Structure 1
Amino acid sequence: MRRFTFIGRMGVSDNGPIPHVQPDTTPIDIQFVDTFRRLEYGIGSALDALRVLGLTPKEVAVDLVVLSALVNAADTRISRALNSQNGWTREIDLIIPVSDVRLWDDQARLLERLLRFLTGDLWRVFFRSRPAGFDRIAQPPTNLALATFDNVALFSGGLDSLVGAIDQLASGARSLLVSHYWDSETSKAQNALLHFLERHYPKQEIKSLRVRLGFDKHHANTGEIEDTQRGRSFLFFALAVLAASALGTNSQVLVPENGLIGLNVPLDPLRLGSLSTRTTHPFYMARVNDLLSQLRLSVALTNPYRHFTKGEMVAGCKDRGFLQEIVGQSMSCSSPAKARYRKLSPRHCGTCVPCLIRRASIVFGLGAVDPTLYTVPSLTARKLDTRAAEGEHVRSFQLMIAKLAANPAAAKVLVHVPGPLSDAPQEIPQFVGVFERGMAEVAQLLRSVTAGPI
């Protein structure tokens, strides 16, 4: 087991020794500036794109993106199996160059708390001043703003974000769509959906900000890799905040995510830690909003669909006919590339938790044949093996469905298991309701499905 310290560097002259709190730590330098003094890893491209739109983000928002990129580097390049005493919890230090050390120092404990909740790791964050010459990174535009925006909306390429974008466009709102990607399948889905949206809403002049940001062995040479990626939403949020900080005061970042996934109640005890994500949990989003407020960014995250199941989102889409035409282009699967093991092109697996909720939502919300390509095209053609990936999550859902059928009151307790709901106690009955209805959608999908050891 090793403790790592990820150190953000800015420029070739930023190469001096930086003290480590942990003497036995393994330091990993991440150079954020290229030879042309431009930020690497897609951040510079994002700033350029905003500048073309006539937008200048705040320097504190640039700090937030650099911080989130360091989180992403550590999260994806430190193996949990090799560097945790319990098979899950890692110990990670970050040292981040920022524009205002005093302001960021005051947020250290809040940051550590929200990152611990998000990823399950023990984080410590430290700040230092940016090196000379980097006082101002976001350069002001030379032209007037080409467009005005009502808000910023996350656009992942998934079904929920597609419904969110359609609802905004169909309502006449002008949203700046912000996307993050690393793998090619996510990028393809985002590009395809943007193409269809632009063609269907030609008068809206849709604007998007797409950022490819990630770290391979050439960027963070730890000799390790980690696929769980629990910290990815922090990076996604930071990129959206970067854009929103340039829109003016009281800017909104829309986070379109159904309430069942937002809560992500563990389906069985094994899913509480390693298999249960908290990327849009209400407690986590509340802590991010606390951070944005403390940083005086005048930006707030909001999930307008937090009380809707995925099926209800689909059914209530403001242009359901158009959604039905292009729903197959969206990407919900957690591992589409694994189809290659069956000598198939990348596609939805059809049996992971996001795929099962997707399948249920299309049946519930569209009442039509699902056009999505699945590695397992039919859930009822044969018995699914619960000792393999194809049946593991089906069985977990079936166990939870049976538990709720035997004791419906359990839902009122289970919604609190993933994390506190104390930030909005008046919404707790709605969270219970969305959990119950979401599970009922999946139960309807699985009513004729047989799963067990084969």
Structure 2
Amino acid sequence: MRRFAFIGRMGVLDMAAVSIVQPDAVPVEVQFVNTFSRLDYGIGDALEKLRTLGLCPSETAVDLLILAALINAADTRVSRARNAQNGWTRELDLTVPVSNVALWRSQSDLLERTLRFLTGDHWRIFFRERPPGFGALAQVPTVMALTGFDEVCLFSGGLDSLIGAIDLFDRGRRPLLVSHYWDSETSKAQQALLYQLGKKMAPREVYALRTRLGFDKNHVDTGEIEETQRGRSFLFFALATLAASSLAGTIQVIVPENGLIGLNVPLDPLRLGALSTRTTHPFYMARINELIANLDIPVTLVNPYRHMTKGEMVVACKDLPFLRQVVASSMSCSSPAKARYKRMSPRHCGTCVPCLIRRASLTPSLGIVDPTLYAVPSLNDHTLDTRSAEGEHVRSFQLMVDKLAAAPHLADALVWLPGPLGDAPSELADYVGVFRRGMAEVGGLLKKVKAKPA
């Protein structure tokens, strides 16, 4: 097991000594400024796209995105299998160049606690002043600002974010949609849906900030790779906060995510750590909002669908006919590239947790016949092997559904397993309710499905 110390650098002249707290840690320098004196890894692209909209974010919001990018570098380039204490937990140090060291140092404890909850790793975050010549990174617009954006809305290309955008446009709102991507399938989904939304809203324009953010082995060479990417949502939230900070007034960032996946209650003991993501968990979002407020950025993240199942989101969609037309272009699968093992083109696998929740939400009884292309087209035409990805998650859902059917009161305790829910005690009954209804929704899909070890 090795501890890694990631050090953010800005420019070839940035050679200031950076102390490494743990001497045996492996130092990894990440150069954020490319040979054209431009911020790299998609950050410069995001700033340029905002500038073309006449928008200029705050320097603290730029700091937040650089921090998020360095978190992403550490999260994706350090293998858990090779460096974890217990098969999961890594030790990661970051040194981040920022515009206001005192402000950021005051948030170190909160940041480390938040990241520990999000990824399950031990983080230590250190800050230093940006080097000379990089005091202002936000690009001054050369065109008149586009005014009238009501809010920022995350737009991942998934079904939930599609419904979120449809609902906002139907209410006459004018959101700035924000997307980031790394793989081509996510990018394709975003582009296809933005094109369809653009046609629907014409002559009104649909504005989006889409940026490819991330690191490959040529950017950050540790000789390792990690696919779990538990820290990715921090990058998404930081990009949305960057965009929102460039708008006037106090701005909401809409995070469209159904309540079942937001809570992500572990279906079995193994999922409590390694297989349980906390991307939009209420505790995590509350800590991000606390951090943003402490940084004096007038932005708040809100999930208006946190008490709704995915099926309820579909039924309540403000334009169900349009949703029927475009839903096949959305991408919910956690790993569409897995289809290549079946010698298929990339598509929804059909059996991961997000795919099963999607399948349960797209049924004639809920208003839509599912048009999605799945690698496993039918769950009923053969017995699924629970020792493989094909049947593993199906059986986990079935066992949880049976457990709740036998003892419904268990839901009151189970909703606390992924993390605390004390930030909004008045919403506790709503979280218990959406967990029960969400499990029942998936249980209906799997009622006649057979799954057992091969």
- Scaled to the shorter chain, the TM-score interval is over 0.9
Per-residue displacement from partner, 1:161-201 (whole Å, max 9, x unpaired)?
A: 00000001111100000001000000000000000000111
Instruction: Name the structure 2 match of 1:303.
Output: 303
Instruction: Name the structure 1 match of 2:170.
Output: 170
Instruction: Name the structure 2 match of 1:223.
Output: 223
In the alignment, the residues of structure 2 paired with residue 149 and residue 367 of structure 1 have an alpha-carbon distance, to the nearest angstrom, of 31
After superposing the two structures, state which structure 1 stretch, 360-369 or 277-286, moved more: 360-369
Q: CA deviation at 1:103?
A: 0.2
Paired residues for 1:301-380 under 5 Å: 301-363=301-363, 366-380=366-380
Q: CA deviation at 1:85?
A: 1.5
In the alignment, the residues of structure 1 paired with residue 104 and residue 365 of structure 2 have an alpha-carbon distance, to the nearest angstrom, of 44
The aligned amino acid for 1:406 is A
Instruction: Name the structure 1 match of 2:67.
Output: 67
Instruction: Name the structure 1 match of 2:244.
Output: 244
Paired residues for 1:378-389 under 5 Å: 378-389=378-389
Per-residue displacement from partner, 1:98-120 (whole Å, max 9, x unpaired)?
A: 00000000000000000000000
Given the superposition, is the C-alpha separation of residues 368 and 243 from structure 1 closer, same or farther in structure 2, using an over 3 Å criterion? closer
Per-residue displacement from partner, 1:2-55 (whole Å, max 9, x unpaired)?
A: 000111100010123311011001011110011222100111111111111111
Given the superposition, is the C-alpha separation of residues 366 and 203 from structure 1 closer, same or farther in structure 2, using an over 3 Å criterion? farther
1:50·1:243 contact (CA, 8 Å) conserved in 2? yes
Q: CA deviation at 1:365?
A: 6.6
User: SS of the counterpart of 2:180?
Assistant: strand
1:78·1:226 contact (CA, 8 Å) conserved in 2? yes
Per-residue displacement from partner, 1:96-152 (whole Å, max 9, x unpaired)?
A: 000000000000000000000000000000000000000001022122113420000
In the alignment, the residues of structure 2 paired with residue 364 and residue 290 of structure 1 have an alpha-carbon distance, to the nearest angstrom, of 41
User: Would you say 1:179 and 2:179 are equivalent positions?
Assistant: yes
Per-residue displacement from partner, 1:382-411 (whole Å, max 9, x unpaired)?
A: 100001100000000001001001100000
In the alignment, the residues of structure 1 paired with residue 172 and residue 335 of structure 2 have an alpha-carbon distance, to the nearest angstrom, of 34
User: Would you say 1:288 and 2:284 are equivalent positions?
Assistant: no
In the alignment, the residues of structure 2 paired with residue 24 and residue 438 of structure 1 have an alpha-carbon distance, to the nearest angstrom, of 47
Instruction: Name the structure 1 match of 2:119.
Output: 119
Q: Which residues of structure 1 form unaligned runs of 5+?
A: none
Per-residue displacement from partner, 1:293-315 (whole Å, max 9, x unpaired)?
A: 00000100000000000000011
After superposing the two structures, state which structure 1 stretch, 139-148 or 395-404, moved more: 139-148
Paired residues for 1:12-161 under 5 Å: 12-161=12-161
2:260·2:310 contact (CA, 8 Å) conserved in 1? yes
1:181·1:212 contact (CA, 8 Å) conserved in 2? yes
Q: Percent identity?
A: 68
User: SS of the counterpart of 1:96?
Assistant: strand
In the alignment, the residues of structure 1 paired with residue 315 and residue 76 of structure 2 have an alpha-carbon distance, to the nearest angstrom, of 36
1:313·1:365 contact (CA, 8 Å) conserved in 2? no
In the alignment, the residues of structure 1 paired with residue 204 and residue 28 of structure 2 have an alpha-carbon distance, to the nearest angstrom, of 45
In the alignment, the residues of structure 2 paired with residue 146 and residue 85 of structure 1 have an alpha-carbon distance, to the nearest angstrom, of 50
After superposing the two structures, state which structure 1 stretch, 245-254 or 125-134, moved more: 245-254
Instruction: Name the structure 2 match of 1:272.
Output: 272
TM-score by length of 1: 0.99
User: SS of the counterpart of 1:136?
Assistant: coil
1:65·1:242 contact (CA, 8 Å) conserved in 2? yes
Instruction: Name the structure 1 match of 2:432.
Output: 432
In the alignment, the residues of structure 2 paired with residue 117 and residue 91 of structure 1 have an alpha-carbon distance, to the nearest angstrom, of 14
The aligned amino acid for 1:444 is G
**Moved runs in structure 1, 4+ residues, more than 3 A?**
364-368
User: SS of the counterpart of 2:169?
Assistant: helix
> CA RMSD, aligned part only?
0.8
Q: CA deviation at 1:212?
A: 0.3
In the alignment, the residues of structure 2 paired with residue 184 and residue 224 of structure 1 have an alpha-carbon distance, to the nearest angstrom, of 22
User: SS of the counterpart of 1:21?
Assistant: coil
1:65·1:235 contact (CA, 8 Å) conserved in 2? yes
Per-residue displacement from partner, 1:200-243 (whole Å, max 9, x unpaired)?
A: 11133100000101111111101000000000000000000000
After superposing the two structures, state which structure 1 stretch, 225-234 or 246-255, moved more: 246-255
In the alignment, the residues of structure 2 paired with residue 16 and residue 128 of structure 1 have an alpha-carbon distance, to the nearest angstrom, of 10
The aligned amino acid for 2:286 is A
1:315·1:365 contact (CA, 8 Å) conserved in 2? no
Q: CA deviation at 1:364?
A: 6.6
The aligned amino acid for 1:126 is F
The aligned amino acid for 1:383 is T
In the alignment, the residues of structure 1 paired with residue 253 and residue 2 of structure 2 have an alpha-carbon distance, to the nearest angstrom, of 37
